[in-house]
Structure 1
Amino acid sequence: MSSLESKAKAFLGLHRPGDPGVFPTVWDAWSAKVAVADGFSALTVGSYPVADSIGRADGEGMTFAELSTRVRQITAAVDVPVSVDIESGYGLEPAQLIEGLLEAGAIGLNIEDTVHSEGGRLRTAQEHADLVHGLRRFADAAGVHVVVNARTDLFLRNDGDEADRVDRAIARLRLAAEAGADVLFPVGRHAEADMRRLTGELPLPISATVLPDQADKAALAAQGVARVSFGPFLQAALTAEIDRLLERWK
């Protein structure tokens, strides 16, 4: 078994409904080394904090090559599984995305259904499932079970009628599950009842992004969440602390 395949298997095993794996969201080698030194056994790389760290905007304001360069620096600095937010795919084909991630040493990805390169439109549910299927097919062909976290932005975008938004998200994510996703990611802030519906009715582990200084792991566990990351919020919390420290020196 290759090193990447063993890391992918280990990473997938950390997705435990009711006992969620916590994967700090990092953006460079320094933040990755800090998280690993603090005892975390896997990491996520967030598009927003990486883009911010190199002076680009989120929403594919950076290129996949720029992201891959940063991922390569992170995987060279730490020996734990690393999953990468690849936004909506940077307009690339699944084979290019999988090849680039594996070459950079990553073993997982988030893929979202907002198409930044096409005016921010929302992919249809079937389009998104087809993309997930392509990523799974090329990962399997490469011999690494890349952990695919299929994300929907329905809640983030406040898409359509709120009354049936959870129903539509469940239908959309079920298609992604059938297409080969490993984890499902209804990104956004959810009422407890909605999160319990999502974790109870969907067939795969559910991922949640939370504020590291406010959310509670036990509460997320009770709701059935299997994976916790921080998106841009860990970097934001550190920025606030840096502001506090520097304020003394003005």
Structure 2
Amino acid sequence: MDTATRATTLLELHHTGSTLVLPNVWDAWSARVIADAGFAALSIGSHPLADSRGQGDNEDMSLDDALDGVRRICSAVPDVPVTADMEAGYGVPPAELVERLLEAGAVGLNVEDTVHSEGGRLRTVAEHADYIGGLRQAADAAGVDVVVNARTDAFVKADQFEDPVAEAITRLLACEEAGARCVYPVKVPDAATLQQVLDALSGPVNVIADPRAGSSAGSLEDLQVMGVHRVTFGPLLQKQLATDLAALVAPWK
């Protein structure tokens, strides 16, 4: 499957009328295991990828480091569409980020509005929307349906805002208008807040969940009823496996 086909496939999976679950992988082995389990597409989380490399999240990896991991994973599952967490963009222009991501084999990306390389500041609404728009423009110029997933940390940094819900919605609407194909309000506190976000937006919304405990808004079934389009696990799948791994080997100490 070529790059353009993988990208279009990933985009179409966001619009099937059911909730797309993209388990987060961190290396070739985890990617193969989850693809063999029957998942149609995968996500690469920056946190688990960094952990697998002995590095830290929040752009402790360089872009070269991150793309090395992306390339190894995509090469291991050549017929499976893969989207990758690219933090805040690693300080490179949108066109360069899209070009290098496609070269590595991924056909989607998360980009957040917390700029870790600049002291963890939050981009302004317009600044983040402009970056997201640049990503979409670069994808369109390449003729590839790259799935740009625009993340906001408005709920993570709720103490900075008088009305975090309104702030999150404002940021996500601006990203939708700029060309994001999906938006991601990380750490939505509860189902009622998530419903407000869903009602305000027109495109797909990504929700993070724990594969065992579910999400802050409920189980997969609850999210499906609400109309959530996409679910990812972030670092939580790897975290759950760490507990299982420790329990598996403990009797052999």
- What band does the TM-score fall into relative to the shorter chain? over 0.9
Pairwise CA distance, 1:128: 0.1
Distance, in Å, in 1 between the alignment partners of 2:141 and 2:35 is 30
Contact kept, 8 Å, 2:11 with 2:145, in 1: the verdict is: no
Aligned to 2:35: 36
Query: 1:9·1:145 contact (CA, 8 Å) conserved in 2?
Result: yes
Equivalent residue for 1:230, pick from 219, 233, 244: 233
Helix, strand or coil: the match of 2:252? coil
Cα offset for 1:139? Answer: 1.2
SS of residue matched to 1:73: helix
Mapped partners of 1:85, 1:120: distance in 2: 17
* Amino acid across the alignment from 1:95: A
Q: Which structure 1 residue ranges, 4+ long, deviate > 4 Å from structure 2?
A: none
Structure 2: unaligned runs, 5 residues or longer: none
Q: Structure 1: state its 5+ residue gaps.
A: none
Further displaced range: 149-158 or 109-118: 149-158
Select which of 235, 245, 250 maps to 2:248: 245
- Alignment RMSD (CA, Å): 1.3
When the two structures are superposed, what TM-score results if normalisation uses the length of structure 2?
0.95
Q: Can you list the C-alpha shifts for 1:58-83, whole angstroms capped at 9, x where unaligned?
A: 00000111111111111111121000
How far, CA to CA, are the matches of 2:72 and 2:197 in structure 1?
Answer: 35
- Mapping for residues 104-119 of structure 1, pairs under 5 Å: 104-119=104-119
Written as runs of structure 1 = structure 2, the 5 A alignment for 1:39-54 is 39-54=38-53
Q: Report if aligned partners of 1:200, 1:224 keep a CA contact under 8 Å in 2.
A: no
Q: CA deviation at 1:157?
A: 2.3
Task: Give distance in 2, aligned partners of 1:189 and 1:169.
Answer: 9
Change (3 A) 1:16 1:191: farther
- Secondary structure class of the residue paired with 1:208: strand
SS of aligned partner of 2:169: helix
**Deviation at 1:17?**
8.1
Contact 1:17–1:224 (CA under 8 A) maintained in structure 2: no
* Residues 60, 90 of structure 1: 8 Å contact kept: yes
1:33-85 CA distance string (max 9 Å, x none): 00011000000000000001101110000011111111111111112100000
| 1:120-135 equivalence runs, <5 A | 120-135=120-135
- TM-score, normalised to structure 1, is 0.96
Aligned residues: 248
Q: Which moved more, 1:36-45 or 1:182-191?
A: 182-191
Q: Percent identity?
A: 49
